[in-house]
Amino acid sequence: MQSLAKSQNEKTAEVMVYVCGACSWENELKPRDPIRCRECGYRILYKKRTTKGLLLINYFF
């Protein structure tokens, strides 16, 4: 039972990288963090693209 709770805590602690729409600063946000740039305070953030999908696209073309 403890291992199940531990794995759920690890999932909620995942950090995603977002890029600010105004200053292009990379922000690391956890699920409960406010959506706001830590550098300039702008509220529009874009999810950073991963290279995982791009490798598949290059493979097929």
pLDDT classification of 21: cutoffs 50, 70, 90: very high
Find out whether 18 and 46 touch, Cβ atoms under 8 Å. yes
Task: Identify the band that residue 4 occupies on the pLDDT scale cut at 50, 70 and 90.
Answer: low
**CATH number of residue 54's parent domain:** 2.20.28.30
Question: How much is the average pLDDT of 1-15?
Answer: 62
The answer, as to whether pTM is greater than 0.85, is no
Number of domains in the chain: 1
Residue 35: give the domain boundaries: 2-60
Greater confidence, 22 or 48? 22
Alpha-carbon gap, residue 60 to 42, rounded angstroms: 38
